[in-house]
Chains A and B, each alone.
Chain A
Amino acid sequence: MTRSSIKIRAQINNGITTVKALISHPMETGLRIDRKTGQPIPAKFISNVTCVSNKKVLLNSQWGVAVAKNPYVSFKYSGGSIGDIIKLFWLDNTNQSDSIEAKVK
């Protein structure tokens, strides 16, 4: 894979690091019908997203199908410093996964 499915940015301001991530993913609910074939489009959604920095799990989340397509998530934490590596992982219900690393700016 040449391009990551994740875009991430972590910026520090007044001691608080804001992490913003955008994941490119269809987030299919399994309820939609393919109009051409009349068959339901199988569910494909991200179930787990974890964000780690300095060997510490900052965010550990479980998602259902009701998270919007191409999910966006943002959170804030204190105690980060410029140059810290922040990693984000996702896993979907078809066991597909991806991860990315970024530096805190």
Chain B
Amino acid sequence: MPLNKQFNKDVCSSRRLFLKSTLSSTAITLAVSSGLLFPMQAFASWNEVAFTAKNLQTAIKSVLGSDLSQASNKISIKTPDVVENGAIVPVTVSSTLKEVSTITLFSEQNNAPLVAQFELDKDCNAYISTRIKMSQTSNVIAIITASGKNYSTRKKVKVTIGGCGD
């Protein structure tokens, strides 16, 4: 699709410069603790491959390094069962898992399934609430990395009108 190509091109050209100055998370902490007012360097790089992947498995693999995850009933996804407008779908993910380091959200049938990845400090509760776009009825998948292992759960959301502009 020419539109997708255009989109990728836009994303890639503006990202490339930024990716050059990628720093590790240790460097992030250093940059912040050294008192920088606006820690531009503190931003993690943007995982272009994962965010533009059209396939769920590819997206999961490129963002988490592995597409293996264990289904877990310790994660809860709170969303409406039916949404009229896919442009605004409230999603709340919480978990009773310990040592949660990241929460990653996917919308299975979206053009690019990866929605967002949240890296949490060890002081943070395993909790994230946000609003996402869904192109059509599909599963919302949350993968939580806890103690180095991936745990996942999914919830089906019925979408009446898609929210990705197509």
Asked if B32 and A66 sit within 8 Å, CB to CB, the answer is no
Asked if B14 and A94 sit within 8 Å, CB to CB, the answer is yes
Chain B interface size range: 35 or more
Contacts A66-B107, A68-B131, A93-B14; is A75 near B32 (CB within 8 Å)? no
Please, which residues of chain B bring their CB within 8 A of the CB of A60? 25, 28, 43-44, 118-119
Question: Which residue on B lies nearest to A93, using beta carbons?
Answer: B14
Q: Which of B4, B6, B132 contacts A67 (CB 8 A)?
A: B132
Q: Which of B40, B111, B117 contacts A61 (CB 8 A)?
A: B117
Asked if B87 and A59 sit within 8 Å, CB to CB, the answer is no
Min distance, Cβ A6 to any Cβ of chain B, angstroms: 13
Question: Is A57's CB within 8 Å of the partner chain B?
Answer: yes
Q: What number of A residues sit within 8 Å (CB to CB) of B? A: 45
Question: Is A48's CB within 8 Å of the partner chain B?
Answer: yes
Interface of B is mostly: mixed
Min distance, Cβ B31 to any Cβ of chain A, angstroms: 9
- 29 A-B pairs with C-beta separation under 8 A: A29-B111, A29-B164, A31-B111, A31-B165, A32-B166, A40-B3, A50-B43, A55-B32, A55-B33, A56-B32, A57-B28, A57-B29, A57-B42, A58-B120, A62-B44, A66-B107, A66-B134, A67-B115, A67-B130, A68-B88, A69-B133, A73-B130, A75-B118, A76-B125, A79-B123, A89-B39, A89-B43, A93-B46, A97-B40
